[in-house]
Structure 1
């Protein structure tokens, strides 16, 4: 008699809430300068500031904290148009998210910086790299961006990295013990993006197999199956 193979459980990518409140921001040497900038507002060295850091380093979380404090609106850089600039600055504070290569209207951004100066508005721009690394064609904009003070988010130290793994698990309501945290922290790339991606994969694998999150499961995942 042919043995019946049990059906494979499917893993569904259910939405999960990642808290962006001030209380849930993980502090460490890597983000101390950036958090200090947010906490010092409106006493900034310049009305427009640039927050630079790799993917997943906390730029959006810090921008959300500042928006709550300042009443700032938020707009993605690729969605910024010249016509949208006056409305975007209506509250006197604005977050421009994710200033990336070739993904924004240079003239709209230049118009925004000019109007912000005229209106004495505060603007926080987030980006993965400094403006000097962007091949901006509009010379006046290139000059203006390079004059804006930059605050950088650095790679996480060991303590912050382990705390990030715990937080990403908590965001997904995953029960995880110290053995799993230590195992992951010593074996994956020490970056914010790697921690988030690995926890997401671990969550999906635990759901697919109907198993708890253990060191053994983490080892299987990192081995590739």
Structure 2
């Protein structure tokens, strides 16, 4: 049975897992990121004591990969914890009680850049994990030295492990990702309909997947096939489908 986290952020972890309960390596469209996904799976399965720094633009799939790592750890009966630093409820004190022997996933680490107190908490966590034999996987918008951190030693530590850029999907790869998501929901959508959707929606995969989920719910509610005219009607009724 998987060991449960005892830190005070476990409630947030439960909420995050509920939001990302389907995130796994099997439903992540790898694209040009095979080396990254292979490294993450090896790290979790072998419980290697390492630091992995992932960077890429918003919506590129960083959070999905962190949750996929946690899901794999759960399957391996290996405890893990997760914090997103864009969540205003997360405090430096919460990092101080994380078990440094576990898999620790810190999402959106750039959100704390420029705050010396928060950066010191991150530095301390890094040192605890290093000496505790745990694993640290962090995500950021840019490489460690370009996020605006004010503590040089923190930048040095974050740059000392494995560093991977998360490459965005091409249009065709995004189309495949949408098809995979639709199939998982039992939703049949023709390629021309998906291409039409992509031409009208933001390229943020997180937003696109949410749009697809809304289309699925609307299709079920109205008992209609998903066609271009149907999507056009949704576009006219819901501004969330429009490009930002």
Query: Which bracket does the TM-score occupy, shorter chain normalised?
Result: 0.7 to 0.9
- Please give the residue correspondences for 1:165-176 in structure 2 after superposition, counting only pairs within 5 Å: 165-170=178-183, 172-176=185-189
Q: Is the 8 A contact 2:56 2:140 kept in 1?
A: yes
State the match for 1:74 in structure 2.
81
User: Residue 100 of structure 1: CA displacement?
Assistant: 3.0
Match of 2:62 among 59, 62, 81: 59
**Partner-residue secondary structure (3-state), 1:25:** coil
- Please give the residue correspondences for 1:7-156 in structure 2 after superposition, counting only pairs within 5 Å: 19-29=22-32, 31-41=33-43, 47-67=50-70, 68-69=72-73, 71-78=78-85, 79=90, 81-82=92-93, 84-91=95-102, 93-102=103-112, 105-156=118-169
Does 2:184 match 1:184? Answer: no
User: Residue 86 of structure 1: CA displacement?
Assistant: 4.8
User: Residue 95 of structure 1: CA displacement?
Assistant: 1.3
Runs of 5+ in structure 2 lacking a partner?
A: 1-17, 239-244
State the match for 2:241 in structure 1.
none
The 10-residue stretch of structure 1 (179-188 or 153-162) with the greater mean CA deviation from structure 2: 179-188
Q: Distance in 2 between matches of 1:175 and 1:210?
A: 13
Q: Is the 8 A contact 2:108 2:138 kept in 1?
A: yes
Runs of 5+ in structure 1 lacking a partner?
A: 1-14
**Partner-residue secondary structure (3-state), 1:23:** coil
Structure 1 residues 196, 65: closer, same or farther in 2, change over 3 A? closer
Give the total of aligned pairs: 209
Q: Distance in 1 between matches of 2:53 and 2:211?
A: 29
The 10-residue stretch of structure 1 (168-177 or 116-125) with the greater mean CA deviation from structure 2: 168-177
Q: Deviation string for 1:173-211 (max 9, x for gaps)?
A: 544223312322445444424522432453465467664
Q: Deviation string for 1:53-103 (max 9, x for gaps)?
A: 233322233223323246241221432535643543243x21112213237
Q: Deviation string for 1:139-171 (max 9, x for gaps)?
A: 322332244432111111233211222233345
User: Residue 125 of structure 1: CA displacement?
Assistant: 0.8
Relative to the length of structure 2, the TM-score reads: 0.68
Q: Is the 8 A contact 1:162 1:181 kept in 2?
A: yes
Structure 1 residues 17, 96: closer, same or farther in 2, change over 3 A? closer
Q: Is the 8 A contact 2:55 2:140 kept in 1?
A: yes
The 10-residue stretch of structure 1 (59-68 or 167-176) with the greater mean CA deviation from structure 2: 167-176
Q: Distance in 1 between matches of 2:49 and 2:20?
A: 33
**Partner-residue secondary structure (3-state), 1:167:** helix
State the match for 1:8 in structure 2.
none
User: Residue 19 of structure 1: CA displacement?
Assistant: 1.6
**Partner-residue secondary structure (3-state), 1:66:** helix
